Amino acid sequence: MVDGSSSPKLTAEQAARFKRLAMPCLEPLLRTAKYLTHQTQEAEDLVQETMIKAMRSIDSFQEGTDIRAWLMTILHRAHIDAVRAGKRRSQTVSIDQAEMDVPARPDSTQEELRAGNEAPEVLLDRFTNTEVIEALRSLPEDIRWTLLLVDVEQMDHAAAAAVLQIPLGTIKSRAHRGRAMLHDRLSGWASQRGWLTRKESDHV
Amino acid sequence: MSEEPSPNDRIDDAVKTRLSRLREEPVETAELEHRLLALASETESATPRHRFFTGWRRLTATAAVVVLAALSGLVLMNLQVSPAIASPEQMVSLHDDATNHNPTAKSVTTIEQARRELVSQWNGVPELPEPPAGSLCGCCVHRVANRKVACLLLKDGQTPVTMMVGSTHDLRETEGDTREIHGKKFTVHRLNESRIVTTEQNGRFVALIGELPETRLLELADEIKF
């Protein structure tokens, strides 16, 4: 159970507003937290903390604006606070480090893999959701947040940029870079499993 | 004139599409939803609050708050210290949750893998006894009677069996028919088609839950290495 889980003591109107507006967003919040922390209990604690904060400040939410983005912003801050407080393990891998960590592929280059017979969509379909989540988890946290908001939750770039409090251009470049990193990571795994061979790519 | 998408664009699109499919993964929100709705429902009284207390009224109110806080603390401490009773209904419900489309279950085949996985989810996981050879197929952390327990998901042939492991500080067994095999005491419960065999060994509360004949479940319980 998270700290601060005590009842925020809402008025009846606030409670009704919270239930009507925020509760339908529970699933995307929990999914994002799960893919972020990779631990169900931590994810539930994080989302509970987020929702309690949302209950307390439900009066400040402007109806007609994007409630999911508002809640994701609280979740993002709660996650940062939790990581800073050392409550949760964080993937503090730098972007450069993560690129170096892509499994080694002797005798093959990224270009060779990209040029292989396996179309990227076909290759990606060979991985289970669990494996894709695992690969996602290995990316730096800012990249992971970007891909979770933009590609998994299908938020538009502007909304995702507002959640993460970064410029629009940065979110776009992070999304492209993140996708390439994820593909490289999965290609590395595919190569290790023998799904991609140099022979195949040499034919192309 | 239409241009062929570059390899990088194809990769970009393919990853984007693949990631969007992660939204199809089921997310179990029921328990959290229940907790949040309960929190949101604890609303303030509709009557307006008195903002100003004066003299003895403020003193009386402060004293009452202190007494109430002390009492609540005592009750809370008592609740936290006393083990909860795991009822057969709760254990069967846990078995159903653990074995039916459980998104939190992790696939494992050895007790070492299970330990690693469970410790990564819960620091306080109790020492796990070893289930019958070849039966282990998964694990997860769950709650019963609002206490955390480790669940080892087993298969006896095609029949799923849940081996629940908790600490006797947290959970105790409810009374039932007792059996003794090879010097070990077991308690048997029945609920509809389900059978439950529980035992307390070395500070651990262990339950085997499944739709198996009582004798078979007792055989499996006897094979557990504590």
pLDDT digits (tens, 9 = 90+) for B38-53: 888 876 544 344 444 4
The pLDDT assigned to A21 comes to 92
- The answer, yes or no, to whether residue B27 has pLDDT greater than 90, is no
Alpha-carbon torsion angle A151, A156, A161, A164, nearest 10: -50
> Of A19, A147, A176, which has the smallest distance from its Cβ to B40's Cβ?
A19
For residues A44-51, average pLDDT: 94
Any B CB within 8 A of A27 CB:
yes
Top-confidence residue, B220 or A103: B220
Mean pLDDT of chain A: 80
pLDDT tens-place string over residues A74-133: 999 999 988 887 754 444 443 334 433 444 333 344 444 444 556 888 889 889 998 999
For B120, the closest chain A residue by CA position comes to A39
The segment with the largest mean pLDDT, out of A67-76, A190-199, B4-13, B62-71, is: A67-76
pLDDT-derived band at B160, boundaries 50, 70, 90: very high
Top-confidence residue, A1 or B182: B182
> Of A34, A41, A182, which has the smallest distance from its Cβ to B122's Cβ?
A41
The pLDDT assigned to A152 comes to 95
Which residues from A are below 8 Å from B101, CB to CB? none
For the ranges A4-8, A93-97, B21-25, B172-176, which has the lowest average pLDDT?
A: A93-97
Closest CA to B32 of A40, A60, A97, A146: A40
pLDDT-derived band at B55, boundaries 50, 70, 90: low
The pLDDT assigned to B211 comes to 92
> Of A14, A18, A41, which has the smallest distance from its Cβ to B141's Cβ?
A41
Any A CB within 8 A of B122 CB:
yes
Bridge partners for A32 per DSSP = none
Residue B168 in tokens: 């006797």
The pLDDT assigned to B38 comes to 87
Scored b (16 or more CB within 10 A) or e, B128-148 reads: bbebbeebbbbbbbbebbebb
Which residues from B are below 8 Å from A125, CB to CB? 18
For residues B108-113, average pLDDT: 90
Select the residue from B8, B13, B16 to test the A interface by mutation, using most A Cβ atoms within 10 A. B16
For the ranges A50-54, A85-89, B12-16, which has the lowest average pLDDT?
A: A85-89
Q: What does the alpha-carbon distance between residue A66 and residue A163 come to, in Å, rounded to a whole number?
A: 11
pLDDT tens-place string over residues B140-151: 888 887 788 999
- The answer, yes or no, to whether residue A26 has pLDDT greater than 60, is yes
For the ranges A137-151, A164-178, B75-89, B117-131, which has the lowest average pLDDT?
A: B75-89
Q: In this structure, what are the phi and psi dihedrals at residue A185, rounded to the nearest 5 degrees?
A: -60, -45
Any A CB within 8 A of B35 CB:
yes
Which residues from A are below 8 Å from B98, CB to CB? none
The pLDDT assigned to A95 comes to 39
For residues A59-85, average pLDDT: 90
Query: Tokens 């989810």 correspond to what residue?
Result: B121
A26·B25 Cβ contact <8 A: no
3-state helix, strand, coil in chain B (%, to 5): 40, 30, 30
Any B CB within 8 A of A40 CB:
yes
Whole-number percent of chain B with pLDDT over 70: 85
- Rg from Cα positions in chain B: 25
